[in-house]
Amino acid sequence: MMKTAKKTYHDGAVSGTKRVVDVLLSVLLALLSVAWMYPVLLILLNSLKLETAISTTSVFELPLGDKFVGLDNYIHGVTKMNFLSSFAYSAVITITSVLLILLCCSMCGWYITRVNSAISKAMYLLCVFSMVVPFQMVMFTLSKTADTLRLNTPFNICIVYLGFGAGLAVFMFTGFMKSVPVAIEEAAMIDGCNPVQIFFKVVFPILKPTMITTAILETMWVWNDYLLPTLVLDIKHYRTIPMAIQYFRGSYGRVEMGPMMACIMITVIPIIIMYLACQKYIIDGVIAGAVKG
């Protein structure tokens, strides 16, 4: 009976300690969430303020009274910098690049997993190695190559993004495909499917969790990218949203902070909505590619 009482006391103490740790972790994560969201909230508040109110002394104050200008900053920012065309260019680049990455890299990951050869292993190693190569090492050569191959428009820059996004995408698709039984594809082959039909009718639907995860990660990267479009695109004719935001400057280098904050909010909102709508697939896709693979 003494041993039973000691065991019960020990279990209760462990359970109490676990509850305390869980509460402390919840408080810590809540504080971290507030810290991460604070810059976005600060941008939102300042996008509603008068230009003169955005200063070192009042940047943290609420947009009340004479400081509140409503949607004037948003209207001015959209009309002055031709923001809608920049939004369209960013949308075209992001959609075409992500679709191309998903299609090509999913097929590449399937090939690497199912074809056990020296070529497939070399392809996988090259894709993984590309993830650790800094962009600054190749950006000048890339700019020259893009100009030579005429990849300097929003309609074909997706080829460049495919090269830089293939490393992560192939890594995730390969890891997930290792968890898919080969018997499913063999059954489809017995039913008369060729390799193309097997991929699009059998493999492609199975890849849905990793597809969504990769799409979200690649969209966040391409949509917010500034350096690559600046190096490759013709700035006089094409400007993405990050490029357009950099031109909110007046005379003597003065930055129009109000319209800039408003355009930043317009840029952030689509990504936030997409992330909140698909956030559960990110965890599922990462776990499927990392643990099962």
Domain ranges (residues) in the chain:
2-67, 72-292
* Residues linked to residue 249 through DSSP beta bridges, in sequence order: 255
Q: With contact defined as beta carbons under 8 Å apart, do 210 and 289 qualify?
A: yes
Q: What is the pLDDT of residues 89-114, one digit of tens each?
A: 999 999 999 999 999 999 999 999 98
C-alpha span between 69 and 64 (Å, rounded)? 9
Give the type of residue at 224.
Answer: N
* 227 DSSP 8-state letter: H
pTM across the whole model: 0.80
10-residue block means of pLDDT along the chain (293 residues)?
Answer: 52 68 87 85 84 70 76 82 86 94 92 88 88 83 86 89 90 87 86 87 87 88 90 85 78 71 86 79 58 44
Query: Tokens 């190749």 appear where?
Result: 138
Spacing of C-alpha 129 from chain mean position: 20
Q: What is the pLDDT of residues 105-153, one digit of tens each?
A: 999 999 999 888 888 889 888 888 888 888 888 888 888 888 888 888 8
The token pair that represents 148 in the structure block: 């030579």
Q: With contact defined as beta carbons under 8 Å apart, do 78 and 293 qualify?
A: no
User: Which CATH number, 3.40.50.1470, 3.40.50.2300, 1.10.3720.10, 3.30.70.1150, labels domain 72-292?
Assistant: 1.10.3720.10
Q: With contact defined as beta carbons under 8 Å apart, do 200 and 102 qualify?
A: no
Backbone phi, psi, residue 203, to 5°: -75, -45
Q: With contact defined as beta carbons under 8 Å apart, do 213 and 281 qualify?
A: yes
Residue length of the chain = 293
> For the chain, how long is the longest CA-to-CA vector?
86
Q: With contact defined as beta carbons under 8 Å apart, do 187 and 202 qualify?
A: no
